Structure 1
Amino acid sequence: MSQHMRAAVVREKGGEFKLEEASIREPQDDEVRVQIVATGMCHTDMICRDQMYPVPLPSVFGHEGSGIIESVGPNVKNLKKGDHVVLSFGYCNHCTPCTTGHTTYCNEFYERNFSGADEEGNNALTDAENQPLHDHFFAQSSFAEYAISRESNTVKVDPSAPIELLGPLGCGIQTGAGAVINSLQVRPGSTFVAYGGGAVGLSAIMAARVCGASTIIVTDVVDSRLTLALELGATHTINSLKEDPVARIKDITGGGADFAIESTGRPEVLRQGIDALGKMGTIGVVGAPALGTDSTFDVNDLLLGGKSIRGIVEGDSIAQEFIPKLVQLYQQGRFPFDKLIKFYPFEQINEAAKDSEQGVTLKPVIRIG
């Protein structure tokens, strides 16, 4: 039967998250219904609220949910009521990228994560007037007290881990750490640069330390973030408002970095990252600007330097495998992502968004249940 609840609804471009009464249907087929304990707030929530990505409105966003399974559909095989879970991105599981282990590049990724409905165009949520709300945002829409997700994007986690902390592993932190571990495969003794000291960039810093990189550099314009980066494993920091990051990186590394990620979504920063690569260096692009954004680079520098540029979605992660590994690293004290997090009550979701956009908070997490 349907479950009454509260959900944070955005009804207009750039509008506030408004807490409203809503209902969510029971799970069907291979779906589960999760009582949300907490949800991380990510840059993508804001750019969709602001329609930089054209997700239909009114919508319930939220895509870093964690909680406890309340009920399961008839075709769920490996999950049960009471399981502690983290919700991640949706994928079809039958296209060529999915069947070859690259679910982050699913042919239906946009439809399953940004269309505002399930693959049949249906919604699981209705508002107080019994009108449909656009949902299935990243196959979850977890800015709500309950969320529907599929078994494939619902990751069971160790119940001894603090469930209210784990939601950001489903997107932002998975993206930064996965870019380093899965995509770039940063080597022991190598040099690594993170452009941007937000939650994604600092997750990459922690992962580079786990991988054994000997020189770990972060660039940002906020000194407090640079200070935290040193605590989390960076060996050098650069405030790009005060010094030339390209020249400084080449000086620190003796010619250029082996690996880098760009997490700011700013094309001029991406250009710096490419210019500061060493011979055969690779930069991963994880920052999401507005659709249609262009960037430039020196073709001969790329060609003669053997440099590589690659896009990375969700850290090339197989969430069912990678998220439990991150939880284990956290429990071992080797991946202290809790230092990035500040909790907000559900009623302060707009304050959390403002603090995130102004750089006051690295990773807001909304306590919901």
Structure 2
Amino acid sequence: MTKKVEAAVVEKRNAPFELKQILVDDNPGPKEVLVHIVASGICHSDEAVRVGDAGDLPLPVVLGHEGAGIVEKVGAAVDGIQVGDHVVLSYDYDGTCDNCLAGQPASCVNWGPLNMGGKRPNGQSSFTKEDGSDVSNFFNQSSFSTTTLVQDHNVTVVGKDVDLRKVGPLGCGFVTGSGTIFNTLKPEPGSSISIFGTGAVGAGSLMAAKVAGCTQIISVDIKPNRLATAVEIGATDTVNSAEVDPVQAIRDLTGGKGVDYAVDTTGITSVMKQALDATGINGVFAPLAVSQQEMTLVPFNDLVGAQKTITGVVMGNAVPQTELKRLISLWQKGLYPFDKLEKTFKFADINAADQASTSGEVIKPVLIMDEDYTV
């Protein structure tokens, strides 16, 4: 059985999003959930796939991996998720490998095939065109659709008092930033951090660093308006790297020591190196961007001599089913004001929303698929 839906399809590399009528399998199999999408954030990773910077995902594809919606159907062997539940969607994982069983699903040994393979775990397509040809999915989620078929591990159930038009972006951009702080860097209260880039991931890192007790939070960007926003959500200092050398500026702000921790969200070769250089002795650097750019190091000079560490982090090393609820709780208490960074767009305006994200005009665009939804 299939259901006709409206979805934003990318037909080939660098092609625009096209709203099309396609078919979704609306007969969920074991461990599958059919979700009516209310809203979805646009993430830089969607754009990276569209233009080909994130590898060779099979095309055509329905992108989107920051969805929020309402459960329409559940398949067999699905526990804790019921028809009518309000949910936020995140990445998929198998739940059975050693890393998943150790509580680290972001390190799932099958993370790549599950999230970037374009097919459901059973090898079938979630979406087809009316001629029967396959359309790939993304993150086993594909939230750029009015209805989508996901795996139960994609799903986090939230309270029905939570506005689904706001919380979708918690599923990737914000949880990647915040989880990097809470789950990997784990900065000590009173420590210092520099965050290069003020998009959703950088903002998520910033807000989490404030919650974690960092007393010096330095935001680095080239756009004055975004640096001003960073101050509004918790930055103690800002550096405009178009005007000054950010490494020297950060050392000046830290009494010559450099920061304890650094995060880069730009993926630009020179900026990643600046972020590393801005850390002090025993500093830890986390590069987070989806980028194919390289960074050249002299290990003894850049790492060994000052005992620095570079650490990789996927999806904030977060367990979505607990982490998203933590972020919602922090938001409801006024401690994680991510919604200040959002701007809503009609689904039909997806290309304008994508351009607003790419240009930096909007930190987090959110597409509204269900205009009739109310809390």
TM normalised by structure 2 equals: 0.96
Structure 2 Cα separation of the partners of residues 232 and 298 of structure 1 = 36
- Equivalent runs, 1:96-245 vs 2, <5 Å: 96-135=98-137, 137-245=138-246
Displacement of 1:131 in angstroms is 2.1
Deviations 1:119-161 (A, max 9, x none): 33310211232322111x1111110001111112200112111
In the alignment, which residue of structure 2 is the partner of 1:301? 302
In the alignment, which residue of structure 1 is the partner of 2:9? 9
- Equivalent runs, 1:320-339 vs 2, <5 Å: 320-339=321-340
**Paired residues of 1:274 and 1:297 also in contact (CA < 8 A):** no
In the alignment, which residue of structure 1 is the partner of 2:35? 34
Structure 2 Cα separation of the partners of residues 367 and 188 of structure 1 = 38
Deviations 1:45-99 (A, max 9, x none): 0111112221111110000000000110021111001111011101111222211
Structure 2 Cα separation of the partners of residues 84 and 19 of structure 1 = 25
Structure 1 Cα separation of the partners of residues 302 and 124 of structure 2 = 49
Where does the alignment leave 5 or more consecutive residues of structure 1 unmatched?
A: none
The aligned amino acid for 1:175 is T
Q: Percent of counterpart pairs with the same letter?
A: 39
Structure 1 Cα separation of the partners of residues 278 and 312 of structure 2 = 18
**Paired residues of 1:90 and 1:139 also in contact (CA < 8 A):** yes
Structure 1 Cα separation of the partners of residues 103 and 285 of structure 2 = 22
Identify which of 80, 83, 93 aligns with 2:82: 80
Displacement of 1:294 in angstroms is 2.0
Structure 2 Cα separation of the partners of residues 248 and 64 of structure 1 = 35
Q: Secondary structure at the match of 1:281?
A: strand
Q: Which moved more, 1:8-17 or 1:98-107?
A: 98-107
Displacement of 1:111 in angstroms is 0.5
Q: Secondary structure at the match of 1:238?
A: strand
- Equivalent runs, 1:230-309 vs 2, <5 Å: 230-254=231-255, 255-290=257-292, 293-299=293-299, 300-309=301-310
Identify which of 61, 72, 94 aligns with 1:70: 72
**Paired residues of 2:37 and 2:145 also in contact (CA < 8 A):** yes
Displacement of 1:2 in angstroms is 2.2
The aligned amino acid for 1:268 is S
In the alignment, which residue of structure 2 is the partner of 1:360? 361
The aligned amino acid for 2:118 is G
Q: Secondary structure at the match of 2:114?
A: helix
The aligned amino acid for 2:157 is K
1:21 matched to 2:21: yes
**Paired residues of 1:20 and 1:127 also in contact (CA < 8 A):** no
Structure 2 Cα separation of the partners of residues 178 and 169 of structure 1 = 11
The aligned amino acid for 2:117 is S
Structure 1 Cα separation of the partners of residues 98 and 353 of structure 2 = 39
Structure 1 Cα separation of the partners of residues 333 and 187 of structure 2 = 21
The aligned amino acid for 1:57 is L
Structure 2 Cα separation of the partners of residues 298 and 325 of structure 1 = 39
Deviations 1:187-227 (A, max 9, x none): 21000110111111011111111111100001001111000
In the alignment, which residue of structure 1 is the partner of 2:46? 45
In the alignment, which residue of structure 1 is the partner of 2:373? none
**Paired residues of 2:91 and 2:153 also in contact (CA < 8 A):** no
Deviations 1:20-51 (A, max 9, x none): 11111121101110000001100110111112
**Paired residues of 1:230 and 1:236 also in contact (CA < 8 A):** yes
**Paired residues of 2:251 and 2:258 also in contact (CA < 8 A):** yes
Q: Which moved more, 1:232-241 or 1:91-100?
A: 91-100
Q: How many residue pairs end up in the alignment? A: 366
Superposition CA RMSD, Å: 1.0
Structure 2 Cα separation of the partners of residues 155 and 182 of structure 1 = 19
**Paired residues of 2:118 and 2:140 also in contact (CA < 8 A):** no
The aligned amino acid for 1:94 is T
**Paired residues of 2:262 and 2:278 also in contact (CA < 8 A):** no
